[in-house]
Amino acid sequence: MKVIYFDTETTGLDFTENHIIELAMLIVEDGRIVEEYDEFINVGYDLPSRITEITGITDEMLIVEGVSEKSVAKDLKRRLTPGTLMIAHNCQFDLSFVYSLLKRHYPLEADGIVGNLDWLDTVTVLKDRKEFPHKLIDAVKYYGIEEVNFHRAIDDTKALYDVVQAMVSERPDLEEYINVFGYNPKWGVSGPKFNFIEYKRQYFNKRIVPSYAILPKK
């Protein structure tokens, strides 16, 4: 089985206007890490100062170390093979940006690429297990994992890998969450609704829910 843990850093929150500036993937096949992928993307314009403050990524880093978005789209197309399980923390956000990137460069193939994959959102799982808040840094603390340089995609991806292993050890029911994204009913679904994802209203829990009560409410 092929699993890709992934994360993005972006120029903002709107996938229709903003762009990925760093994409990281930790690729696992048959339980073994086979590749660490981490690329800066030169988006061709100055970063908002707030993004540099949060991520530590500068315009100079993107100019000197960044590759073209087209190159990253090609890398994604080659690696996102049908049946691959894609795992991200707040997966709706990262999926929206990855889809938008692919759509710009492979407009006729993007829907098929993302639609032939499986998706797991660890925020949805975390809300069934731990009290608020539910950021990746909170998951790391909950499970006693060594902290990393958060808001850098490759470090977040490595932390995510450790979080998922801890979740499996805690209760091995992650398969139940595949292609199911919970959302806060107050705010609704952020970004596009993908037809291969089941979206469910989800409220916070103060403790791990019983096994018979997992998954968001319909």
Question: What's the pLDDT tens digit per position in 90-127?
Answer: 999 999 999 999 999 999 999 999 999 999 999 999 99
Distance of CA 152 to the CA centre of its chain: 13
Question: What's the pLDDT tens digit per position in 129-182?
Answer: 999 999 999 999 999 998 877 678 999 999 999 999 999 999 999 999 999 999
H-helix or E-strand spanning residue 98: helix 91-105
Token duo for residue 145: 């994992």
Q: Superfamily for 2-213?
A: Ribonuclease H-like superfamily/Ribonuclease H (3.30.420.10)
Q: What is the mean pLDDT of the chain?
A: 96
218 has a pLDDT exceeding 90: no
How does DSSP classify residue 152?
A: S
Question: What's the pLDDT tens digit per position in 172-210?
Answer: 999 999 999 999 999 999 999 999 999 999 988 889 999
pLDDT for res 130: 96
pLDDT for res 189: 96
Token duo for residue 70: 């087209």
- Spatial separation of the C-alpha atoms in residues 66 and 192, rounded to whole Å: 28
Question: What's the pLDDT tens digit per position in 50-66?
Answer: 999 999 999 999 999 99
83 has a pLDDT exceeding 80: yes
Token duo for residue 163: 């979080």
pLDDT for res 217: 83
Task: List Cβ neighbours of 28 (8 Å cut-off, separation of 6 or more).
Answer: 2, 3, 4, 5, 34, 161
